[in-house]
Each structure stands twice: as C-alpha cells, then as structure tokens.
Structure 1
C-alpha cells in the first residue's frame, strides 16, 4: 500500500468507495476489503449504509485507529446546528467516536454560506469528532471560497482519464490539498480504451489496474473505486508492484474528452 502524507495525516492512496452498496452486501464487501488490506473506507450519510460499514469495522477485528474513514454531510443539512446533529447521527451509525475526514458532500443549493458550514465542522474537529475537514464536488471557485474559511484537506471529485481536473490539481499542489478521485475507472469505460489496453498488456495488468495506478502515481491524488465484486476488489488492490513511465502517464492524461458521468440537477456549474 502507498501511504500519502498531508500535513500530519497519513492516508492510504487507495480506498473503497461504497455508493449504492447497502445491507449485508455492503457489510460483507467492506469486511473482505479490510481482510485484503484496504485501510481507507469512504461513505456518506446520503448512501444510507453507514450502519453497515460500522458493523463491518466492528466485526473486522482491525483497530479503528488503523482505518482512514471518511463520511459526508447531507447537502440539504448544512446549517450549523444541522451539521452538528448530522455528525452525531453518523457517528452512532458508524459505531465510532470520530471520523478521519468529514466532507461537505455537495455545495449548498439553499443558499447556506460555506463559512457557516465550515465553522460548525471546525467545532466538531475541536471536539475530536473529526480529524480533518474537506469538501466534495467543489469547483475551483467554490474551493477558493472554502479555503478562506478553514484548513481544507480534500476535494473529492469525479476524476478519471476521460475527465481532466487540471485546475483543481493545480490548486491541490498550490495548497497541499488531496484530490480524492471518485468514479476513477469511469464505470468500466477505461477497459474499452485502446491506449489503456495497450499499456495494460505491457505490464501484464488489467486496464482498470493501469487507470488506478495512473491516479495514485499523481502526487496529490488518491482513488476510491467502488465494487461489489470480490474479484474486482482484489484486482483493484493489486496495483503496488509496478510503476507507469512518464510517457505512459502522459498518454493516459491525453485521453481527456470532458466526459462527466455524475451530474445531478443540484450539481454546481462545473466550469466556474
């Protein structure tokens, strides 16, 4: 496992995303992931599976302090008092005293100033309920505003070879931020890329493995692929025994086509 350092935090470069995983399916895949060696788990209030992940961690026998656990605030509850209440509920479901990272899941659509939300999150951090503060689905403009009000660790966004995040990556370098890539294999579309397939053959790896390696070889990037398939869970983790050359990295970066797969009606204006 590659561990990335941001300030005094050490974060596994590869995690498990859990969107659309629920019930025993979620619990069992998280348990399997922890047994394989995953130590970075990502969830959200909106996923409705925090209780399943809490059960998995409790049953795993792995020390809570060895797991980097992220959850996210519901985007319709970003007022200060709502943030405190939502976090209390998340901690109860997750059966833990703290999360390593708490994110604003989506920018407010109800006009809640990001300053108000971040101030409440900073209170939670001061109380030991969270170790770090972050945002998700923030555009460069929104991220700039957030950085004025809090020490932001992370912006979690859709990022894969077909969707460049050039400005956010620049901001990550400038501000020592982590970019967490969700939808990192573009819902499997990377397996259809002739370029990625050619590079995969060179390394005797799968296109998905090449893509995940491309992401985590970028200094400020971590990736959280989601899967309910035990074989995919294993293969996604088998990316630490090879490296991509600079030329291969550049070839994959050249595949950008602005393909955005996650774009709900409440999303921000992405170009801002």
Structure 2
C-alpha cells in the first residue's frame, strides 16, 4: 500500500519516532527507516538526538525534499525569542535548512502563549518551518492556541487504542489540523490486549499491527512509533496493509480508553487544562 498522507501539510501518516534513541543507534534507525520507505521522521530538542537524526538524513539517498521532518522545542522556552534561539540550534544540529513541522513540545505555566505562537508563525513565514503546531496541549489550551489565529497545522499527543482522545480529535478536525499520535502502541500494552490479539489472529498479523491499523482508520491521524531495528520498522510499515473490518473497529472501540502512559509531573491538567 502506498503511504497515505494528511492533506493539509502532506504529512505521511506513519513515521519513525526516535525517542529515546541516541548516537549511532539513532542514525542507523533513521537510515534503515528511510531505506524501507519511511518518509516521516520525528525528533525533538529534548531527545538529545537531533544531530544523530541529521546524520541519518545526510547519509541517505532519499532527497531532503521527500522527507517530512518534525522537531519540537522544549517547555523551558516561554516566548518567541527563546523559541527562535533554540530552533536555530536545532537546525544546526539537524544540518538542514528547514523543518517540515515545528512544535512546542509541552505547555508550561511560564508559557506566553501569544508571543510563543507569534514566534512560531514568524519562523514559518521565513520558510524555516513549513508548518507549525503544538504538542501535549489539553482541549481548552489547544482551543486558546487556535484562537490566536496563527494557523496551527498539527497537535501531537499520546494516542492509542487504550486512550480516548475524542475531544482533541474533534477540535483538530474542526480546524483542519492533523493529530499525530506518539506512543501509538501504548508502551507495548496494546499488543497485550486479548481483543487485539484475537483480531491479529483473524488477519494473520501481529497485535501491534492491529493497533497501528486502528489508528490508520481514524481520519486525520498520523503516528510515530519508535522502532530501532529494521525488522520492527518493517513490521510497523506493514500495518498499512491491514484492513480492519467494522466488527474489528467496534471491538477495539469498546475497549476501556483510560490508560495514559506518558504523564510526567509537569504535564498539564489533561481534562480541564
């Protein structure tokens, strides 16, 4: 199956997440992913691997223009000036003249939302980022960010078959924003669900592939599972060929969706934030 993309920013729906890989392991993972057909690579300032990702991009035969590259600026940058300084350092580490998507990684109490988003918009206007967005913003804060009117293109949050993100999806779809799912396999817990295992046996695939196929069945959703080995990368890529039927989708929809695996002390109020 050809790689589907989200039209508003031409983002491939299945990408490579690189956290927490570093150094040679990360570079090799980027190289193998691109060789297999991935065209979407996700990194962040905080990951400490932008240089390794950049090395992987530079050593690949895939033209830079064919790769969708996302990076994220950490939450200790509260305004546009700090974001710009950090982003310039990210570009240097990535050894690329631009990124395809630039995100604020996490909100913080110190964040000057209007100034930070204006800073992102200025970076986009200069062609240094083709699209901008936010990550880990709960519904009310996401709506406040959208209301700034700078034209956000993407929200990145934890999303998988065991976590309901319907409120965020509703907001994103209403504003023509993509939603990128990180931890799309729920730290491996989705593959341990008997329901997904039964569906996997029915289709002759793995439970992890079923979990990714479920996300692929959600309009406007992309995902960036981390995979270091070429074998796991290929397994994830093969989820594109898994066609879940209505009974499969209903069974997965019926699973409890209250398991959040990424919830650090600095996280926002996910319900009321």
TM-score, normalised with respect to structure 2: 0.96
- Tell me the residue number matched to 2:232: 232
Measure, in 1, the Cα distance between the counterparts of 2:132 and 2:240.
Answer: 28
- Tell me the residue number matched to 1:152: 152
- Tell me the residue number matched to 1:33: 33
Contact 1:11–1:68 (CA<8 Å) still a contact in 2?
A: yes
- Tell me the residue number matched to 2:132: 133
Query: In the alignment, is residue 118 of structure 1 matched against residue 117 of structure 2?
Result: yes
Residues 107-165 of structure 1: CA deviation (Å, up to 9, x unaligned): 0232x221110000111011110000110000000100000112111110011111110
Contact 1:109–1:266 (CA<8 Å) still a contact in 2?
A: no
Please list, as runs of the form range in 1=range in 2, the aligned pairs for 1:96-107 lying within 5 A after superposition.
96-107=96-107
SS at match of 2:256: coil
- Tell me the residue number matched to 2:242: 242
- Tell me the residue number matched to 2:142: 143
Measure, in 2, the Cα distance between the counterparts of 1:83 and 1:22.
Answer: 23
Contact 2:6–2:222 (CA<8 Å) still a contact in 1?
A: no
Measure, in 1, the Cα distance between the counterparts of 2:166 and 2:103.
Answer: 21
Measure, in 2, the Cα distance between the counterparts of 1:85 and 1:192.
Answer: 43
Measure, in 2, the Cα distance between the counterparts of 1:11 and 1:217.
Answer: 16
Measure, in 2, the Cα distance between the counterparts of 1:15 and 1:85.
Answer: 27
SS at match of 1:84: helix
Unaligned runs of 5+ in 1: none
Shift of 1:78: 2.7
Query: In the alignment, is residue 262 of structure 1 matched against residue 262 of structure 2?
Result: yes
Paired residue total: 270
Measure, in 1, the Cα distance between the counterparts of 2:181 and 2:236.
Answer: 14
- Tell me the residue number matched to 2:42: 42
TM-score, normalised with respect to structure 1: 0.96
- Tell me the residue number matched to 2:165: 165
What is the Cα-based RMSD across aligned positions, in Å? 1.1
Shift of 1:248: 1.2
Measure, in 1, the Cα distance between the counterparts of 2:73 and 2:22.
Answer: 18
- Tell me the residue number matched to 2:94: 94
4+ residue stretches of structure 1 with deviation over 6 A? none
Query: In the alignment, is residue 217 of structure 1 matched against residue 198 of structure 2?
Result: no
Shift of 1:227: 1.8
Measure, in 1, the Cα distance between the counterparts of 2:151 and 2:250.
Answer: 31
Measure, in 1, the Cα distance between the counterparts of 2:96 and 2:78.
Answer: 22
Measure, in 1, the Cα distance between the counterparts of 2:113 and 2:254.
Answer: 34
Shift of 1:259: 0.6
Query: In the alignment, is residue 6 of structure 1 matched against residue 25 of structure 2?
Result: no
Residues 161-206 of structure 1: CA deviation (Å, up to 9, x unaligned): 1111010111122111111011101111112111101111111100
